[in-house]
Every structure is written in structure tokens, then in C-alpha cells.
Amino acid sequence: MTLPKNKKIFKDIRSVSAASAQKLNDAGLLNHSGIVVAWSSLNPFLRDEMLSETEAKQLILLELFRTDAPPRVDTINRLLNYMTGIDKRALKHKILYHTSIEL
């Protein structure tokens, strides 16, 4: 597996280090070959909101720049939707904190 380096998709995450890939692997997000797990295995992490935004971005980079097969667009789209949800939850929390409006 070749780890993506200097990819200008996200401002803050441009690569996946070997240590980061190992953490993702240890968490069960990568298979034995270092490829993002199938959707059925990834779904519980997204459903239970167990991924950080950084981890989601790293998974997207790993999927986009995999060398064994074409990227799985459905997996990328689901991770992007998850990231959008993170942003929405954070904004709702800030709104609730600063006002009495419940969204």
C-alpha cells in the first residue's frame, strides 16, 4: 500500500502518515492490506459517530489514491456526508450554547 502524500484535497490534511494509517488499522477501519474496509464494516463507525473529522479525511485520501482498484465513490460520498454532519452538529451546539433556540 502506498500512502497518499502532498494531496491538496483538504487544507489541513494533505497526507496519511504511517503512524496514522496504523491507528486507523488498529481501530478496524483498514483491512490487512491497508485498504479502507467495506461499507458494511465502516457503517457502524459513522452511525455511532465514532470518527473524527481528521480520520474521515484520512480515509477519503486513502480511498481516493488507492493503487489496487478504482476508488469506491459510494464510500467517499458517505464519508463526505458524515463530515457535513460533523459540521452541522458543531454549529448546532454553538447556536444552542449562545442562544435559547433548540434546532
Among positive and negative, which fits the CA dihedral 78, 74, 33, 58? negative
Q: What size, in residues, is the chain? A: 103
Q: Quick one: pLDDT at residue 23?
A: 96
What confidence tens digit (pLDDT) does each residue in 2-57 have? 888 988 888 899 999 999 999 999 999 999 999 999 999 999 999 998 999 999 99
Q: Return d(Cα 12, Cα 27) in angstroms, integer.
A: 22
- Which of the four pLDDT bands, split at 50, 70 and 90, describes residue 103? low
Domain residue ranges of the chain, discontinuous segments joined by +: 18-98
Higher-pLDDT residue of 13, 101: 13
Helix axis angle for 53-64 and 18-27, nearest 10°, is: 100
Cα torsion 14, 19, 25, 26: sign? negative
Return the bridge partners of 30, or none: 36
Residue type, 57: K
